[in-house]
Copies of this chain bind each other. A is one copy, B any other.
């Protein structure tokens, strides 16, 4: 090969590599999500990264259009990279409805791409991890969606979190009773969504400025999120605010059902509360909405969000497909776990290091390593007979716990030195006892 110019190795702005230290925990987190989703009967699907632009932008607003990675393919087709997993799900369900049957419960883990401004630490490629139940309006599916989220955080080791749940019908009922017109609703909810960040006074101001409601209407609306307390008490106090509103009363009945269902399923009172300020997006969700906050790090925002929608795939089929689901914020959760110095449960440990100490014994090391692996032990055999210090430094850097060192004398005697890389202590054991030792320690 010619000594040509070196191409500088670099990634695109907004894109990143995952080194093993980051890829390992992510893999472990996805494994937990998979296990939890499956335990409720959700099944995996996958869809292409590239779709017709017509499909992707069918529902898009201006924001989506601008962010889409869009180009013309070899066949002159107008194509783009998916920017979420919801649009592909809608297209998928519309296309395969007959084959899938309803209700259809799926999970989907995959990368999505958005040409966003990267200044706020956002990435242009990120992983989504969604689950949804399509084709039913059942309260049971609402409850199970929340149960999945609760179980997920519990299994990740983050049971100190709170699901904040609301129902869009309750919000609508309060707006209705406040005399807010349908055309004012979106601006009111946009203002309400900022409650956590800017407080009730500024929200009231914004409602008046941007939605054109008056001060007493704003106060009526803000009475809703001011209701806090245990779940039943909150629902009781909401009753008067939505009295007479059909959508409000229907929404409240569903929140009562959610409360009962979760209690029956053994979810502690504190794990989920009704937070009547949660609006989540403006016109997509129509029923329950949920956000999930870590008690130790509420400031990082919701780590798992979702809700119920009326009609998933109206752009692609005449069949009405209601659904409910949520999306796990994988990157945000991993960042939170790192900040909290927690590791993902079940993340594979490094295993055992086997030093290549005696240059003449390559095949013996191979045989030993394979024997230990057959017993379920992860074994990393150093590939070359380098200096022992260099090998142990490598093992330490990899975070391996035990190093097995066998030189000529040990081969003769059928023994091994086993070094604990954390404490530095060593012990000599019979090679026959190595498997049991590794199984218990690594």
Residues of A within 8 A of B (CB): 1, 4, 6-13, 15-20, 23-24, 26-27, 34, 38-41, 43-52, 54-55, 58, 66, 69, 71-75, 77, 79, 81, 91-92, 94-96, 99-101, 103, 105-106, 111, 113, 115, 125, 133, 136, 138-141, 143-144, 147, 151, 257, 260-261, 263-266, 311, 313-318, 348, 350-351, 356, 362-367, 369-371, 373, 377-384, 394, 397-398
Q: A3 to chain B: closest CB distance in Å?
A: 9
Q: Which residues of B contact A397 (CB under 8 A)?
A: 101
Point out which of A38, A44, A45, A138 has the most chain B C-beta atoms below 10 A from its C-beta.
A44
List 16 additional contacts besides A23-B45, A139-B362; criterion CB under 8 Å: A7-B54, A9-B55, A9-B95, A10-B91, A11-B51, A17-B45, A19-B99, A23-B44, A27-B34, A40-B378, A41-B381, A66-B74, A103-B394, A140-B362, A144-B366, A257-B362
Asked whether A39 and B315 contact (CB < 8 A) given A45-B23, A48-B15, the answer is: no
Q: Which residues of B contact A125 (CB under 8 A)?
A: 48-50
Of B12, B66, B377, which is within 8 A of A51 by CB? B12
State the oligomeric state as a number of copies: 2
Asked whether A316 and B7 contact (CB < 8 A) given A12-B51, A41-B379, A113-B50, the answer is: yes
A contact face: mostly helix, strand, loop, or mixed: mixed
Q: Are A367 and B264 in contact (CB under 8 A)?
A: yes
Q: Are B103 and A266 in contact (CB under 8 A)?
A: no
Q: Are A48 and B12 in contact (CB under 8 A)?
A: yes
Q: Are B44 and A24 in contact (CB under 8 A)?
A: yes
Q: Are A366 and B314 in contact (CB under 8 A)?
A: no
Q: Which residues of B contact A314 (CB under 8 A)?
A: 1
Q: Which residues of B contact A46 (CB under 8 A)?
A: 17-18, 23, 26
7 smallest CB-CB distances across A and B, nearest first, come from A41-B380, A71-B71, A20-B43, A138-B383, A15-B48, A9-B95, A18-B46
Q: Which residues of B contact A11 (CB under 8 A)?
A: 47-48, 51, 95
Q: Are B41 and A378 in contact (CB under 8 A)?
A: yes
Q: Are A12 and B54 in contact (CB under 8 A)?
A: no
Q: Are B366 and A48 in contact (CB under 8 A)?
A: no
Of B6, B105, B113, B136, which is within 8 A of A315 by CB? B6
Q: Which residues of B contact A257 (CB under 8 A)?
A: 362
17 interchain pairs (CB within 8 A)? A1-B314, A8-B316, A10-B95, A12-B50, A18-B44, A18-B45, A20-B43, A39-B351, A40-B380, A49-B111, A66-B74, A73-B115, A103-B394, A105-B380, A140-B381, A266-B367, A266-B370
Q: A104 to chain B: closest CB distance in Å?
A: 9
Cα distance A175–B143 in the bound complex, in angstroms: 71
Q: A138 to chain B: closest CB distance in Å?
A: 4
Q: Are A383 and B136 in contact (CB under 8 A)?
A: yes
Q: Which residues of B contact A106 (CB under 8 A)?
A: 20
Q: Are A17 and B48 in contact (CB under 8 A)?
A: yes
Q: A424 to chain B: closest CB distance in Å?
A: 21
